[in-house]
Structure 1
Amino acid sequence: TTQNTLFFESVKTYVLRKFPHYKIFDTICDSTEKRQAEVKSLADSVDALIVVGGRNSGNTQRLAEIGRLTGKPVYHVETESELDTETLATARQIGITAGASTPTWIIKRIYRAIEALPFNKSQGWHNILSTVRRTLLLTNIYISIGAGCLCYACSKLQGIPNYYSYVFISMLYVQSMHIFNNLTGTEADHYNDPERAFFYNKHKMLLAALALIAGAAGLIKAYTMGLLPFLILLAMSFMGLSYNLKLIPEHLSSGRYRRIRDVPGSKTILITMAWGIVTAIFAPLSVLGKFDLSMVPVFAWSAGMVFVRTAFFDILDMQGDRIVGKDTIPILLGEKQTMRLLKFLLTAITVILFLSAAFHLTSSLGFVLGICPMLLFIVLLTYEQGHTMPGIRLEFLVETHFVLAGLVTVLWWALVIGD
């Protein structure tokens, strides 16, 4: 069922020529036949081909054979440690394929290793850009910048004056909480993103200090702004820090639900709520001291964007999360159902933002900020259609939508309000 289709066709032709009365039955699996055709097409379009899978797997061996028939160098590997990085770094285009039974998390590790290769020196700027991009993601600096941009956009939507302090606090809070939770919950990263796991293990003391400083600075700044901002941020910080802690004693628990993170789907929901509050609720509540109707659509937009971002990353990490027993929303609902939910949410928050601006619940900025969920919708579609692969570029692209919200707000302020 997994034979080389080209070899089968040559045997079939020979047999029919010699023994035309023979009946021949093609039992090669349709998916195998399709994959082999795709591998040939892929090998023809790249400089080198990597085949990922067990060396004793007949299916994977056939894929490697088909690749070699094209005359291109083929590297059959089981893990990223077997990659010939020096040779691969000279290739301009590298194709990756895998056997049907190869786990997705292994393929992702191969892809990330290739993505991190220092390609030929003529592309030095590309290597520098890739290093900067990965550093910003690993240290959560880019995420915190995104949170600040999102807070800035939310403040302008609600007409909050003197927003600088709130933007600063949102950046510090997100920076601190993400580092702490990455430090205390890296089990799945060993499968989903081994580079991140290695980075956090190597620099855990430095990162812990950075998280403490960021968290403390945010609380101090909030305290100088009043008791209410301080208490809100303190409560949020406590919730964030307690996510990975065993809060329920073992003798009072069945053994599974001792931490907040043990609750199915809790990660995505808590991150969504935390970001939504610190970017959309914290500023107006601190200024007004009470609830305002404009908070609802702004919170829905901000939290909706964060929910989609977090749940989408959970989709990319499904296999690693399953291995460590983490019940994320995609694992509970399934990948297809989760993708439908995310696309529906993006559509809904775009409409909500537009209507809130139309009915003057928010500023006219709401008309243009709808571009952010719309573009994120397109990213999801390109992933579904196989045009993008999980990796540094995709992660950076998704996080950039929050930075884009800040840039759109700056342009709106300059072109509309500035006039």
Structure 2
Amino acid sequence: MKITIAKTAGFCMGVRRAVDMVLDAANTSDTPIYTYGPLIHNPQVLEMLETKGIFRLDTIPEKGTGLVLIRAHGVPPEDETALKQAGFSVINATCPRVVRVQMIIRKFAQKGYATIIIGEENHPEVKGLLGYAQGNGHTVTAMDQFTALPVFENAVVVAQTTQNTALYDEIKAFCAKHRPHYQVFDTICGSTERRQQEVRHLAATHDAVIVVGGRQSGNTRRLAQVAAETRAFTTHIETVSEIDFTALAGFRSIAITAGASTPNWIITDTCSRVARHLEHQRPVAGAISRIQGFFLKTNLLLALGAGSLTYACSVVQQLPRTWIHAAIAMLYVFSMQVLNNMFAVKSDTYNHPDRAGFYRRHRPVLALLALSSGGAGLYLAYTTGVMSFFILLVMSLLGLSYNLKLIPKGWGRTQQIRRIKDIPGSKTLLITMAWGVVTSILPAVDTRSVPLWMAVAFLYAAGLVFSRTAFFDIKAIQGDRIAGRETLPILLGEKKSFVLIRYVLIATLVLLAGAWPAGLSFSLTWLLALVPGLMLVLVHFFGKDSRISGTQMEFMIESSFLLTGVMAAIL
């Protein structure tokens, strides 16, 4: 069984921008927040917004207070004016691609041109566009409707940004031949074109296509329509509960795509559940997937990676190759990561639905394991020396207090920071520092370590951990924003964060290259350099290709830490 996720599946730029704007407003403002009409056409996202206290305003009252966001589809200009006159602060979240079409229509309407919109008359975007046509707008959804219109002296032809590209190409060709005096503009969003092209390719190369998205979403319905025009079996669902797995059982390859208003968590949930239901067709691969999932959800793989990295850092510092410090690192990382995941269930509901469910079901057992592991780590640290114990105790207390509200409510009217986790970007940086200390500084505290090699080991570990943490923060950006967590990628943006990760990994390679002339053995230098080199390749590959399942991606990144210990053990 082959399952492929479309590269173009999920939020387009305009939808992501609108959702980010409304969530940022909710996370930073105490005033009532509304969206004028549904922000996007996805019921799960709208339900999520209501849980954040963001409600829908369907009519404009005479008087109002608070913030109102204009949805991604846009609205007629008179509606925006009425909202401001009613007393609302208005944030315009109209997609920039739609704004371009609005400006084209306004420009030519002012010159007396008729406006012909290829789109659904009752679609919110088209309703908004008609508001700029100064009463001389016409909508069509088929070629015969277009030819039935009177021949205007002057007309501008545009398309709803999510319109079927094949229909618009046909109308453009007709205009070039029979209406050459019409002004025709290519206004279908590039994202829409790419989605439709990709779904045609996927439908031609797969037995079945699952299209995920709201039934009121025009672009999602058209994706299903395009796929259905091929030989592939096609089903359009809003949630994975609607899938007929009996109908899918006989297919050898399934493609999953999603509309521009479908969030990542629904796509991820669909992919994982389809894979689980169809595992009986490939028992070996299914068993491997379950083992991978167990090691990832329980954080055992990450803990083993911490132990391996600690061993490698001890080799770099030429310390005795005892396993006690590796065990301390494993126990500490396991304890802190499990506790962090327990507090992160809200964001994991959107980022990792499977993991969120796992932690809800086994919360008492996991809490006991985390506390026991933390205590065992402290005991082992005490056996190595009082200083090691004290450092680890402070780190553990900081980790335990990360999610706790340390500053009482009411200390300042605009107070936003009450917990360590509320400090913007703190998660990525604190995890990096904690790993650096436990993997490289603790082993050197009670032994004679050359400061140069301790610094090299610390920076090497910190570079790997920062890159790994920041990468997963990028992948979790939607859920973290919903939960109100200000991670580094939310502050910097996705593109800048990827650039920063690449620079950090390259700097780690340069660090090792500089350590070789300073006395680090040639073989150790280049063996350890393989790990940041591999991570650089993986981050680049996974950043470009969204078709890799989340479990495979996470397993490969986390496994790279195991390689550090393997490389060090080779010597």
Fold similarity call, TM over 0.5: yes
- SS of match in other structure, 1:232: helix
- Structure 1 counterpart of 2:178: 21
Report the Cα offset of residue 113 of structure 1.
Answer: 2.8
* Corresponding residue to 1:168 among 303, 321, 327: 327
Mapped partners of 1:267, 1:397: distance in 2: 22
* Corresponding residue to 2:238 among 73, 78, 81: 78
Report the Cα offset of residue 115 of structure 1.
Answer: 4.1
Report the Cα offset of residue 5 of structure 1.
Answer: 2.8
Q: Give CA-to-partner distance per residue, 1:298-348, whole Å, 9 cap, x none.
A: 111101100010000010011111111111111100100010000000000
Report the Cα offset of residue 352 of structure 1.
Answer: 0.2
Alignment of 1:50 with 2:207, yes or no, is no
Report the Cα offset of residue 82 of structure 1.
Answer: 2.4
Gaps of 5+ in 1: 414-419
Mapped partners of 1:194, 1:207: distance in 2: 17
Mapped partners of 1:45, 1:28: distance in 2: 29
**2:311–2:321 Cα contact (<8 Å) kept:** no
* Corresponding residue to 2:317 among 137, 146, 158: 158
198 and 26 in structure 1: CA distance in 2 versus 1, 3 angstrom threshold: same
**1:148–1:167 Cα contact (<8 Å) kept:** yes
Name the aligned partner's letter for residue 33 of structure 1: E
- Structure 1 counterpart of 2:512: 353
90 and 142 in structure 1: CA distance in 2 versus 1, 3 angstrom threshold: farther
20 and 111 in structure 1: CA distance in 2 versus 1, 3 angstrom threshold: same
- Structure 2 counterpart of 1:312: 471
**2:200–2:230 Cα contact (<8 Å) kept:** yes
Name the aligned partner's letter for residue 102 of structure 1: T
- Structure 2 counterpart of 1:149: 308
Report the Cα offset of residue 26 of structure 1.
Answer: 6.2
Q: Give CA-to-partner distance per residue, 1:219-256, whole Å, 9 cap, x none.
A: 11111222111111111111111111111122335442
- Structure 1 counterpart of 2:264: 104
Mapped partners of 2:371, 2:246: distance in 1: 40
**1:150–1:405 Cα contact (<8 Å) kept:** yes
**2:315–2:321 Cα contact (<8 Å) kept:** no
Q: Give CA-to-partner distance per residue, 1:176-202, whole Å, 9 cap, x none.
A: 000111112221111111111111011
Alignment of 1:341 with 2:500, yes or no, is yes
Normalising by structure 2, we get a TM-score of 0.68
Name the aligned partner's letter for residue 70 of structure 1: T
Between 1:341-350 and 1:33-42, the stretch displaced more is 33-42
139 and 90 in structure 1: CA distance in 2 versus 1, 3 angstrom threshold: farther
337 and 403 in structure 1: CA distance in 2 versus 1, 3 angstrom threshold: same
- Structure 1 counterpart of 2:349: 190
- SS of match in other structure, 2:236: strand
- Structure 1 counterpart of 2:254: 94
Name the aligned partner's letter for residue 532 of structure 2: P
Report the Cα offset of residue 7 of structure 1.
Answer: 4.1
**2:317–2:450 Cα contact (<8 Å) kept:** no
Aligned-pair RMSD on alpha carbons? 2.1
Alignment of 1:4 with 2:161, yes or no, is no
Report the Cα offset of residue 105 of structure 1.
Answer: 3.0
Alignment of 1:260 with 2:434, yes or no, is no
Between 1:184-193 and 1:105-114, the stretch displaced more is 105-114
- Structure 1 counterpart of 2:127: none
- Structure 2 counterpart of 1:393: 552
**1:51–1:63 Cα contact (<8 Å) kept:** yes
Report the Cα offset of residue 103 of structure 1.
Answer: 2.3
Gaps of 5+ in 2: 1-159
- The structure carrying a bigger helix percent of its residues is 1
Mapped partners of 1:285, 1:388: distance in 2: 45
**1:50–1:75 Cα contact (<8 Å) kept:** yes
- Structure 1 counterpart of 2:199: 39
- Structure 1 counterpart of 2:460: 301
Mapped partners of 1:192, 1:392: distance in 2: 12
Mapped partners of 1:26, 1:352: distance in 2: 53
Report the Cα offset of residue 36 of structure 1.
Answer: 1.0
Between 1:103-112 and 1:401-410, the stretch displaced more is 103-112
Between structure 1 and structure 2, the one with the greater Rg is 2
Matches within 5 A, 1:282-297: 282-288=442-448, 292-297=451-456
Mapped partners of 2:565, 2:278: distance in 1: 32
Equivalent pairs, count: 407
Report the Cα offset of residue 116 of structure 1.
Answer: 3.6
Mapped partners of 1:118, 1:171: distance in 2: 35
- Structure 2 counterpart of 1:367: 526
Mapped partners of 1:201, 1:114: distance in 2: 22
- Structure 2 counterpart of 1:417: none
- SS of match in other structure, 2:255: strand
Mapped partners of 1:88, 1:200: distance in 2: 30
- The structure carrying a bigger strand percent of its residues is 2
87 and 275 in structure 1: CA distance in 2 versus 1, 3 angstrom threshold: farther
Mapped partners of 2:520, 2:526: distance in 1: 12
* Corresponding residue to 1:379 among 529, 533, 538: 538
Matches within 5 A, 1:102-141: 102-121=262-281, 123-141=282-300
**1:272–1:306 Cα contact (<8 Å) kept:** yes
Mapped partners of 1:85, 1:234: distance in 2: 51
Report the Cα offset of residue 30 of structure 1.
Answer: 4.0
- SS of match in other structure, 2:325: helix
Between 1:206-215 and 1:363-372, the stretch displaced more is 363-372
